[in-house]
Amino acid sequence: MNRKVSVAPMMDCTDRHERFFLRLISKNTLLYTEMVVDEAISRGDKKKLLEFNINEKPVALQLGGSSPKLLSEATKAGEDFGYDEINLNLGCPSKKVEKNRFGACLMKEPNLVADCLSKMQSVTKLPVTIKTRIGYDEVEDYENLYNFISTLKATGVKTFIIHARKAMLGKFTPKQNLNIPPLKYEYVYKLKEDFPDKEIIINGGITSVDEIKPHLEKTDGVMIGRAAYHTPYLLADIEKDIFNNDNIPSRQDVIEKLIPYVKEELKKGTRLNQIMRHTLGLFHGQTGASYWKRYLSENMCVRDADVKKIDHIMDKIKYNNVDTRVGQSA
């Protein structure tokens, strides 16, 4: 599994439509699902929750939960649906997540987490990984992080994705938790020094290829989040400069390849706005980008969008001077 660069699991962002769209831009970036709760998989419609397009691969399933039994069942279901990795969420700081006893609050219970990971690994041949933070509330010393990772390491987990901020549980909103706690990249670098045989992936506030490269000198991989969602063509720069792939599609190529997918999804009952909302940032920094966003907002990113609009979208790009060239994401 190549985890040199990956796109973080993001609620209401990295659904199957977003992942299909991003895969049109980058062949090599590892993609993650939104967090799926173990109990939802146990009680709900597994197909609706877990089914994905084969063209999204490689793709990892992120799970949320704290029941060893339910997590092991969800892990097996993920393997059966064809995912390439199972990831346990130990980093989400929201009040709702904490109330249900999963996410970052589990950093307080390393032994429970270890039990969950052991059970998950016992039912699958897939890699089981974790995504966590450097600490929580007033607990942000490196020693605590080291001890937490040591406990999880003993279960056989080999890959640790670390968001280099602490989580403020119940004190900040999820959005504030992405910005206010200071980044401490040095903690993640130190983990790689102290656990040289483990795969350490760094996450948090990384927005460009120029920022990715120095992190790769000190860790095994970089996970990007909001930058990939708001400026998705960043993945083209990553594909070229990190994965050394010169076969990069233009922005127009991406839309042309997306249209058949959109039409097939519409036949299944998917609404146009559920897909096209993910493309709002495709032309970020390019001439005509504001027109693209306005056209989508007014015609395709509304609940009752006219499906016929999709047939004219390429003409709208061509005749309104939207710059579709291959180039920097800006």
Query: According to the model, what pLDDT value does residue 172 have?
Result: 67
Question: Can you tell me the distance from the alpha carbon of 272 to that of 184, in angstroms, rounded to the nearest whole number?
Answer: 40
| Residue 67 maps to a domain | yes
Is residue 326 in some structural domain?
A: no
Q: Is residue 330 part of a domain?
A: no
The structural domain count of the chain equals 2
Cross-strand pairs, 201: 161, 221
Structural contact between residues 301 and 280, judged by C-beta atoms closer than 8 angstroms: yes
Looking at residue 201, what is its pLDDT?
A: 98
CATH of the domain at 43: 3.20.20.70
The reply to whether 207 and 282 lie within a common domain is no
Q: Please determine, for residue 8, whether its predicted confidence score (pLDDT) is greater than 80.
A: yes
Domain membership of residue 178 as a residue range: 5-241
193 and 59 in one domain?
Answer: yes
Contact 206, 226 (CB under 8 A): no
Q: In the prediction, which pLDDT does 100 show?
A: 75
Separation between Cα atoms, residue 252 and residue 133, nearest integer Å: 38
What is the mean pLDDT of the segment spanning 298-327?
69
Residues 96 and 224 in one domain: yes
Q: Are 258 and 301 in the same domain?
A: yes
Q: Buried b / exposed e across 155-186, counting CB within 10 Å, b at 16+?
A: bebebbbbbbbbbbbeebeeeebbeebebbbe
* pLDDT of 92: 86
DSSP conformation class of 249: P
Are residue 120 and residue 216 in the same domain, yes or no?
yes
**Catalytically annotated residue among 92, 105, 116, 301:** 92
Q: What predicted TM-score, i.e. pTM, was given to this entire model? A: 0.93
Query: Does the pLDDT value for residue 307 go beyond 70?
Result: no
pLDDT computed for residue 328 by the predictor: 57
176-231 confidence digits (pLDDT tens):
767 678 899 999 999 999 999 999 999 999 999 999 999 999 999 999 999 999 99
First-to-last CA distance in the chain?
Answer: 29
Cross-strand bridge partners of residue 87:
62, 129
Answer yes or no: 92 catalytic.
yes
pLDDT of residue 318: 67
Residue 168 pLDDT class (50, 70, 90 cuts): confident
pLDDT at 128 over 80: yes
- Do 107 and 208 lie in one domain? The reply is yes
| pLDDT tops 60 at residue 327 | no
| Residue 89 predicted with pLDDT over 60 | yes
268 and 152 in a common domain = no
pLDDT (0 to 100) of residue 299: 81
Instruction: Name the pLDDT band for 291 (thresholds 50, 70, 90).
Output: confident
Q: Which two tokens stand for residue 68?
A: 């060893």
Question: Does residue 45 sit in the same domain as residue 14?
Answer: yes
Res. 50: pLDDT tops 90: yes
DSSP conformation letters of 128-174: EEEEEEEEETTB--HHHHHHHHHHHHTTT--EEEEEEEEE-TTTS-H
Report whether 325 contacts 289 (CB < 8 A). no
Please indicate, yes or no, whether residues 55 and 169 belong to a single structural domain of this protein: yes
Decide which of 221, 241, 261 is a domain's last residue. 241
Residue finishing a domain among 176, 211, 241: 241
Question: Which pLDDT score is estimated for 107?
Answer: 95
**Residue of 290 and 32 predicted with greater confidence:** 32
Q: What is the CATH number of the domain that holds 300?
A: 1.20.120.1460
Statement to judge: residues 179 and 303 lie in one domain: no
Q: Tell me, yes or no, whether 327 lies in a domain.
A: no
Q: Which of 191, 218, 241 is the last residue of a domain?
A: 241
Environment class of residue 80 by beta-carbon count within 10 Å: exposed (0-12), middle (13-18) or buried (19+)? exposed
| 293 lies in some domain | yes
Question: Mean of the pLDDT values across residues 26-41?
Answer: 97
Higher pLDDT, 300 or 59: 59
Q: What is the pLDDT of residue 324?
A: 61
Say whether pLDDT at 51 is over 80.
yes
Whether 38 and 163 map to the same domain: the answer is: yes
Q: Give pLDDT tens digits for 243-268.
A: 999 999 999 899 989 999 998 998 89
225 and 276, same structural domain?
no
